[in-house]
Amino acid sequence: MTEIRAALVGACGKMGTGLVRRIMSTEDMTVAAAFDLMRVGEDIGEIAGIGKIGVPVSDPKDLSTVLKEAKVDVILDFTIAKATAINAPIAAAAGVNLIIGTTGLTPEIMADIKKAVEDNNVAAVQSTNYSIGVGIFIKLCAEAARNLGLDYDVEIIEAHHNQKKDAPSGTAFSTAEAISEALGGKEFVHGREGLCPRGKEIGIHAVRGGDIVGDHTAMFIGNCERIEIKHQAHSRDVFIAGAVLAAKWVCSQEKGKIYSMKDVLA
C-alpha cells in the first residue's frame, strides 16, 4: 500500500500533537506537513514529544505552497470555524482530501467547503465527533426514539471543559438531529428560562467546567420511567483514533463528496 502523506492544521495544540504521535505510529501513514500560528520553523516531531521527524511547522498563509511541495494526500483540521472556512477551500484547491473536525461551522461555511470539494474533485469527511463510540451512541439514540415514539420527552445534556468555545456541542446537535429524524421532525429548545411549558420539542443543555473531555446523555422520559443513553470520553485519544481511521479511509473513496463518520464506520 502506498504511504499516505498527512498534514495537520493547528498542529501544535493538544489535538494536533496527539494526531502527530498517532499518525507516526500508524502503518502506511506519515506526517508530511504541519501548520500553526505558533512555533513556526520548529520540528513538529519534537513539539509532539517523539523527536525530530524532519517536518517544520509552517505558517498557514503558506498552506497551498507547502501542501503541493510536500505532496500531501489528506489534511486534518481541528481548529476553529473562522480558520477552517479559509483553510479548507485552499487545501481542496491544492488537490488534498479533507478531514474536518472543527465544530461551530455555519451552513454558509459548509456550503463553501462543499463547493470546493466538488469543484476540485477531492473527498472529505466532516464530523462533529470522530469517536467510534459516539457513532454507536447516536445510532442507539435514534433507535430508541423510533421504538419509544412520541410518548417520551427527550432531553440532551452535554458537558465539556471550560475552554470549549462553542455551545452546545456539535455532537449534541448531531444527536438531536438523529432523534428528530427518527421522530418525524422536532424543534430544538436550548435551555429553559421563565415561562416555558414543555411541548414535544427536544431540549438541549450545555455544561462547561474543568477538564471534562466530553460527556453526552440522551434522556427519554416517560410518565413512569426514564431511559438514559450516555457516552463519556475519558481522553482525546478516542477522537484521534477515529480521525486517523477516517484519514486513511477517505483517500480511497469516490471524489467530489463529503462523507460522515457514519460512512466511515459502515
Q: Which residues are catalytic?
A: 160, 164
Residue pointed to by grid coordinates 483540521: 77
Residue 209 and residue 224: Cα distance in Å, rounded?
A: 32
Hey, which residues does 57 pair with through a beta bridge?
A: 34
Hey, which residues does 34 pair with through a beta bridge?
A: 8, 57
Query: 116 to each of 1, 67, 130, 150, 237, how far by Cα in Å?
Result: 28, 16, 22, 40, 30
Torsion (CA) 148, 149, 153, 155 in degrees, nearest 10: 80
What would the grid cell of residue 172 be? Answer: 449534541
